[in-house]
């Protein structure tokens, strides 16, 4: 088996670090300033994770490209980790937002856009009732609360190494056969073993064992895992899993925040899933904070029967700005004009081009890696066979190698998502954008294996 020469990897990393620092003097300067007033020198903790001594500071972004403060232009394959899957600032959304901004941003009253959007979501996902929040995290949290309330069960179930935003219950992982806080979990409110059951993806026996306790309100799941590499469900997995949830009285929440990359109605529509809830955030408003959760007729009836009018504003579901006029205008413009069936027809073949290109270079350099595609996204992982669950995928992760490949790409004008090796296509991405990455990937692999 081909192994990576660690000494060579370290030398190449050091060289790329020097190149990065030399070529980004203005970002370096801003980072020095930032460290005096931003915790860790960044506006958000995870921005420390970018490859390189500091993050590049952005000047402007449009479509599939952005320019940093040093005037360097990049192909953006990270796209705000899906927040900008629409491409940066699509004109039609920018116009709709500009119009709405002048006509009232937030009122605590509905606008006609909310009705148009809910009708469209119903058409896309097949679920009849919709509510809005500002982040996918909140949409997940609110749906979980509803699930707990109507089932009167305390626990939720998640897959090992899942990510669903900063939902407390989901920062749990399997350790020594039991459930414990996920590595890096900052100040967990309670031991997640109290709130959460965790199983490996694609393991129906484990799922049944966990559901058998009849204390799980809802399974919170991405239809395909996307946050620990791309992990596709086995054929028939969701059909059987859905039967199990029904057998044990557990609800199913399809978090389509990333899997919306497979089509306008996510996996729910493409794979004919039949969830009780759907959550969709991030790109739904082209990056304007917005998210939604939908539910079935039955869930709607059960929860409506339990909410007294007098208490409907203090139930732990909501947010002053949730469902605001600006978010809804952004969602309407996005669904109507940007994340359309036509857009997917160009984005998905580009992801295939990425996967084919990278796959060919992996083969050429005899690297023990694989590449997976899911709709408009593709990702390579450092193991020969595509992982079938979170544990397998996490075991194949290689932080130093990942950082090298990311920095190598960044230094040559391509941005990958910082947390793993994901590349996402937007409607403005082009074949030359994808091919640039393939050439850079091959160069990096060539240097590494020379």
The contact set with ligand PLP (CB under 6 A) reads: 81, 135-137, 140, 163-165, 222, 227, 255, 257-258, 281-282
Based on CB atoms, which residue is closest to ligand PLP, 114 or 259?
Answer: 259
Question: How far is the C-alpha of 136 from the C-alpha of 309, rounded, in Å?
Answer: 26
Could you tell me the CA-to-CA distances from 108 to 282, 300, 319 in Å, in that order?
22, 22, 10
Residue 201 half-sphere exposure toward CB, CA atoms < 13 A: 30
Question: How far is the C-alpha of 309 from the C-alpha of 7, rounded, in Å?
Answer: 66
Q: If DSSP codes are grouped into helix, strand and coil, which group holds residue 75?
A: strand
The minimum distance between CB 284 and ligand PLP, in angstroms, equals 10
Based on CB atoms, which residue is closest to ligand PLP, 85 or 362?
Answer: 85
DSSP assignment of 135-189, as one string?
SHHHHHHHHHHHHHHHHT--EEEEETT---SS-GGGSEEEETTEEEEPTT--S-S
The minimum distance between CB 69 and ligand PLP, in angstroms, equals 25
Based on CB atoms, which residue is closest to ligand PLP, 82 or 370?
Answer: 82
The minimum distance between CB 279 and ligand PLP, in angstroms, equals 7
Based on CB atoms, which residue is closest to ligand PLP, 237 or 441?
Answer: 237
The minimum distance between CB 385 and ligand PLP, in angstroms, equals 24
Based on CB atoms, which residue is closest to ligand PLP, 76 or 222?
Answer: 222
The minimum distance between CB 227 and ligand PLP, in angstroms, equals 5
Instruction: Answer for the pair 396, 369: CB distance below 8 angstroms, yes or no.
Output: no
Question: How far is the C-alpha of 78 from the C-alpha of 81, rounded, in Å?
Answer: 5
The minimum distance between CB 166 and ligand PLP, in angstroms, equals 7
Based on CB atoms, which residue is closest to ligand PLP, 65 or 282?
Answer: 282
Question: How far is the C-alpha of 391 from the C-alpha of 361, rounded, in Å?
Answer: 26
Question: How far is the C-alpha of 70 from the C-alpha of 13, rounded, in Å?
Answer: 22
The minimum distance between CB 357 and ligand PLP, in angstroms, equals 25
Instruction: Answer for the pair 420, 81: CB distance below 8 angstroms, yes or no.
Output: no
Q: Which residue has its beta carbon closest to ligand PLP?
A: 165
Nearest to 142 by CA among 315, 395, 2, 317: 317
Based on CB atoms, which residue is closest to ligand PLP, 28 or 121?
Answer: 121
Based on CB atoms, which residue is closest to ligand PLP, 28 or 288?
Answer: 288
Could you tell me the CA-to-CA distances from 29 to 18, 35, 67, 412 in Å, in that order?
15, 10, 17, 21
Rg of the chain over CA atoms, in angstroms?
22
The minimum distance between CB 213 and ligand PLP, in angstroms, equals 25
């Amino acid at each position: 088996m081909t192994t990576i020469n660690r000494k060579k990897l370290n030398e190449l990393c050091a060289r790329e670090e020097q190149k990065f620092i030399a070529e980004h003097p203005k970002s370096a300067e801003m980072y020095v300033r930032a460290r005096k007033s931003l915790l860790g020198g960044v506006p958000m903790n995870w921005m420390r994770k970018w490859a390189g001594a500091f993050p590049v500071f952005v000047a402007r972004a449009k479509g599939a490209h952005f320019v940093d403060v040093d005037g360097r232009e990049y192909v953006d394959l990270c796209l705000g980790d899906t927040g900008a899957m629409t491409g940066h600032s699509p004109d039609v959304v920018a116009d709709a937002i500009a119009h709405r901004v002048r006509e009232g941003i937030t009122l605590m009253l509905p606008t006609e856009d909310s009705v148009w959007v809910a009708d469209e979501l119903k058409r896309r996902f097949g679920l009849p009732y919709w509510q809005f929040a500002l982040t996918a995290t909140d949409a997940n949290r609110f749906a979980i609360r509803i699930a707990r309330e109507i089932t009167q069960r305390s626990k939720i179930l998640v897959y090992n190494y899942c990510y669903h935003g900063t939902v407390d219950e989901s920062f749990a992982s399997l350790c020594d056969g039991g459930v414990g806080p996920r590595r890096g979990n900052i100040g967990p409110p309670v031991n997640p073993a109290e709130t959460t059951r965790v199983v490996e993806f694609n393991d129906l026996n484990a799922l049944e064992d966990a559901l058998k306790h009849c204390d799980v309100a809802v399974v919170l799941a991405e239809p395909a895992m996307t946050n620990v590499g791309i992990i596709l469900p086995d054929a028939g997995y969701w059909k059987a899993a859905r039967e199990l949830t029904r057998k044990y009285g557990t609800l199913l929440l399809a978090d389509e925040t990333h899997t919306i990359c497979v089509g306008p109605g996510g996996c729910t529509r493409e794979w004919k899933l039949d969830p009780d809830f759907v959550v969709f955030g991030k790109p739904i408003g082209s990056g304007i904070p917005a998210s939604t959760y939908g539910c079935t007729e039955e869930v709607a009836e059960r929860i409506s029967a339990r909410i007294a009018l007098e208490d409907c504003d203090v139930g732990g579901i909501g947010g002053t700005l949730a469902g605001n006029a600006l978010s809804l205008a952004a969602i309407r413009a996005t669904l109507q004009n940007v994340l359309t069936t036509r857009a997917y027809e160009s984005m998905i073949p580009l992801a295939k081009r990425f996967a084919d290109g990278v796959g060919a270079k992996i083969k050429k350099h005899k690297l023990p890696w694989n590449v997976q595609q899911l709709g408009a996204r593709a990702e390579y992982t450092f193991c020969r066979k595509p992982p079938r669950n979170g544990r397998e995928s996490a075991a194949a992760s290689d932080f130093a190698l990942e950082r090298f490949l990311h920095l190598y790409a960044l230094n040559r004008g391509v941005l990958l998502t910082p947390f793993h090796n994901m590349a996402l296509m937007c409607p403005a991405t082009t074949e030359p954008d994808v091919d640039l990455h393939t050439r850079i990937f091959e160069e990096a692999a060539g240097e590494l294996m020379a």
